[in-house]
Amino acid sequence: MTHPFLDLAPLSAARFAAIEDRVARLLGTRQDVVIMQGEALLPLEGAIRGTAGPGTTALNVITGPYGQTFGDWLRDCGATVIDLAVPFHTAVTAEQIRAAFAEHPEIDFVSLVHAEAATGNTNPVAEIGEVVREHGALFYLDAVASIGAEPVLPDAWGVDLCVIGAQKAMGGPAGVSAVSVSVRAWDRMAANPGAPRRSYLSLLDWKERWVDGGRKALLHAPAQLEMLALEACVERIEGDGLETVMNRHRTAARSTRAGAVALGGGLEPYVSDERDAAPVATTLRVPAGVVASELVSRALASDPALPLAAGGGALAKEMVRVNHYGADATAGAVRGSLAALGAALAEKGLAVNVEAALRAADEGDWR
C-alpha cells in the first residue's frame, strides 16, 4: 500500500528551483535565493561564517536572544564585534546605528534581527538599511519572525543576507529555510579564506555547484517532505494574498495588546511603545506576585491548544508570550488566549474584566 508521506517520487532539480523562485517572489528580491536544507539556524550560521573573518568589524545589534548567538558566531570567526544592546522592551533606532558608525567608522558588517518572536519587538529595518548603505557595510538580517507578518524587502532595504524560515508567520515547516544573497555578499564569501567550503554550512558550495551551474543538479538529496511543505505554504500565502496574511498578524497583535490592557489584572504590554511591537507575537508583563510560567500553565490547563508560552530563560518569571502566528493569527486564538489568561489571573485573586478584553479583541479588522 502506498503511503502519502513515504512513497513519493524524487524531488527534481527543476521543482526545487521553482520553489526557490517562489520564495524569491515572496521576498520581492532579484538576488539569488538559496533554500537551505535545515532549520533557519543553518543559513543564519552559514551566512555569518561565510562573510565574517579576522578582518571584519561587526556591529552586532542585540534586541533579543538571537543577537547574542550571532555575536558568539562572529567572535568565533575572529571578527571584532561591537555589541549594541537595547532593552528588550524597545526597538533599536537608526540614530543608534548612525552613532555606532560615527564612533567606529571601521564597521563593515551589521547583524540585526528584524522581529523578535521571543521578546515581541520589531526593528525599523528600512531606516537602518539606509544608514548601513551610507557606510557601505554588509547588512545581515534575521527575518525568520517577520516574514509573513510584516513587509520584508531585502532589495528595497539594501539587505545583503536575508534569512527566513517558514515556521512562524508563514505557517509552514521548520525543517527548511532560505537566504537571499546579494552580489556583494557573494564577493565577500569568495574572498574569505575562512568561509566554509565542502561543508553543510557552506553557501559557497550552493553558489558554485547549484546557482552557477544553472540549477541543474542538487548537491545532495533534498529534504523532500519539507520542500513540498514549503511549496504548499507559499502557495497558500499566494492564494490568500500576502497583504491579507500580514493584516491578520497585525490585527492579532493589535487585538492582543488592546485586549490585555482592557483585561486589567495587572497584565501589561511588555513592549512599551506599540510602534515597536512585532505583528508576529505579543509579549505581556505579569503583575508583581505572579510568576508568568505558572500563569501560562494554568491558562493552558483550560485549553492546551492555545498559543501561549512563558518567556525564555530569565524572562520565564515576568513574561507571557502570545504566539498568534501562522494558523493562530485568528480572532479565536486571541480571544481564547485572553479569556484563559483572565481566568488564570482571577484564580490568583486579581480583578479582571474578560468581557472588556474580548470586546477589545473583536474590534480588530478580522478580514
Ligand X SMILES: *Cc1c(COP(=O)(O)O)cnc(C)c1O
**80-85 vs 57-62, strand pairing mode:** parallel
Q: Which of 32, 30, 66, 37 is nearest to 141 (CA)?
A: 66
Environment class of 225 (CB within 10 Å of its CB; exposed 0-12, middle 13-18, buried 19+): middle
Instruction: Select 161 or 357, whichever has its Cβ closest to ligand X.
Output: 161
In whole angstroms, give the CA distance from residue 357 to residue 187.
53
Which positions from 165 through 224 interact with ligand X, judged by CB under 6 A? 165, 168, 174
Instruction: Select 51 or 123, whichever has its Cβ closest to ligand X.
Output: 123
N-terminal to C-terminal alpha carbon distance within the chain: 42
Annotated binding site: 321
CB of 256 to ligand X, least distance (A): 17
User: Burial letters for 305-316: b for 16+ Cβ neighbours within 10 Å, e otherwise?
Assistant: ebbbbbbeeebb
Annotated binding site for substrate: 321
Which residue among 51, 58, 63, 66 contacts ligand X (CB under 6 A)? 66
Which residue among 13, 15, 39, 219 contacts ligand X (CB under 6 A)? 39
Chain residue whose CB lies nearest ligand X: 145
Instruction: Select 322 or 358, whichever has its Cβ closest to ligand X.
Output: 322
| 8-state DSSP, 86 | -
Which positions from 100 through 159 interact with ligand X, judged by CB under 6 A? 113, 116-117, 142, 144-145
> H or E element: which one contains 268?
strand 268-269
Instruction: Select 142 or 318, whichever has its Cβ closest to ligand X.
Output: 142
Under the criterion CB under 6 A, does residue 40 sit at the interface with ligand X? yes
CB of 339 to ligand X, least distance (A): 26
CB of 112 to ligand X, least distance (A): 10
Can you give the binding site for ligand X, defined by CB under 6 A? 39-40, 66, 113, 116-117, 142, 144-145, 165, 168, 174
